Amino acid sequence: MSRKYFGTDGVRGRVGEHPITPQFVMQLGYAAGKVLAHAQHTEHPAVLIGKDTRISGYMLESALQAGLIAAGVDVYLAGPLPTPGVAYLTRALRLQAGIVISASHNPYYDNGIKFFSAQGSKLPDDIETAIEQELERGMSTHTYDELGKAKRLPDAAGRYIEFCKSTFPNELDLRALKIVVDCAHGATYQVASAVFHELGAEVITIGGQPNGININDGYGATAPRALQQAVLEQQADLGVALDGDGDRLIMVDNQGKLYDGDQLLYVIAKHRSNQGRLQGGVVGTLMTNLGFEHAMQRLDIPFLRAKVGDRYVTELLLQNGWQLGGENSGHILCLGQHSTGDGIISALQVMTALCASQKTLAEATADLTMYPQVLLNVRIKKGQDCLQHPAVKEVVTQSEARLAGRGRVLLRPSGTEPLLRVMVEGEDGILVEACAQRIADVIRGLVG
């Protein structure tokens, strides 16, 4: 059965439009409660609900809570808390699931619901499919003596802060660093700066005043110019940008230069390899820069590519017994420290490498050459399959021949919009741009 509502990261959409309505979210809560109770063989399961700072979170939290209680599920309410914080507390409290109300890096008028298993990882596809099947059966209510209960979870933020700090080596501290932390006016506003401050750093916070509608607006990992400017103005050593729900990381060095997920993953992987602490290899995605793959080859580190999406990176890591992986967008997986991607913990792993080696970000990435990469989004007709058209296959073959083994071409449909994403990368930036534009033009010609 193909999934109707769940994408690669839960259920997401525009608030007030199906499926992000209070009616549907209540039904979703009920269906999830029924499935989780059956899957866990638990008569009275309990779940944790956390959220980011969007104004719609109040409404959706109440709706979700009502559906779960109607299904006989107890609910713990954490309030605003980063997505990885919900994953951690779900596991630490031995709950049946964790639920996050967030649309991550999207604007405030979007929102979503994503689930974590009892182990603190994304739900497997079969459980999400079972929830969708339960949705089709409709909603009822348990008898009055079988209803769930709800209560606030005290000091959820404090517990998560201590967990983050525990992932940083005891023999190191951040006392020599001045750090600017950009919380994107999102879920990390109560916790991120505290983590780095309590480890010794001098911390300047930006993007830390949420008002319900300013999440990700000009701040955070998807809008890093404010961080770059603040680092230069404050003469800071590092800048840390998180996204609205705290699972994505971008960093800035003392010169205002940006470092994406591939570059930060390289710093961690190289340091662990040099220390003999890298377990197995590294997992990237189809979008991981080719320069990163070549760098892993030079370091004799095994490298594999997963489908785009941190859940698929996690799956491939677990299949191989590895611990380190990520996406160039800033989702970094350090499974030795946490069961899911965590922007704060990933930043601490980068800082561990820098502090231990006494290097700057520029020095730690000096031997990593990132190849020019062009990504074009081409609008197509809904349901149109351009990938199999002879003209598209031909232009892709021609482009790959022109790149002559020193680049690659990737075409993939968007999971949420009628778009075909055209990605070309290689050593020659001018050639890469020309190939990408040529492929896009052929696709536009087919669409008319």
Which of 56, 104, 121, 329 is the catalytic position?
A: 104
How far apart CA 104 and CA 90 sit, in angstroms, is 19
Q: Residue 417 contacts by C-beta under 8 Å, 6 or more apart in sequence?
A: none
Helices (H), 205-360: 225-234, 261-274, 290-298, 310-320, 343-357
Within 10 angstroms of residue 46's Cβ, the number of other Cβ atoms is: 20
How far apart CA 215 and CA 221 sit, in angstroms, is 11
Beta carbons of 353 and 324 less than 8 angstroms apart: no
How far apart CA 83 and CA 45 sit, in angstroms, is 21
φ, ψ for residue 203 (rounded to 5)? Answer: -120, 130
Nearest residue to 264 (alpha-carbon basis) of 161, 348, 187, 175 = 348
How far apart CA 278 and CA 161 sit, in angstroms, is 25
How far apart CA 1 and CA 125 sit, in angstroms, is 10
What's at 422, amino acid-wise?
V
How far apart CA 142 and CA 43 sit, in angstroms, is 12
- 56 belongs to the catalytic site: no
Any idea which residues carry the catalytic annotation? 104
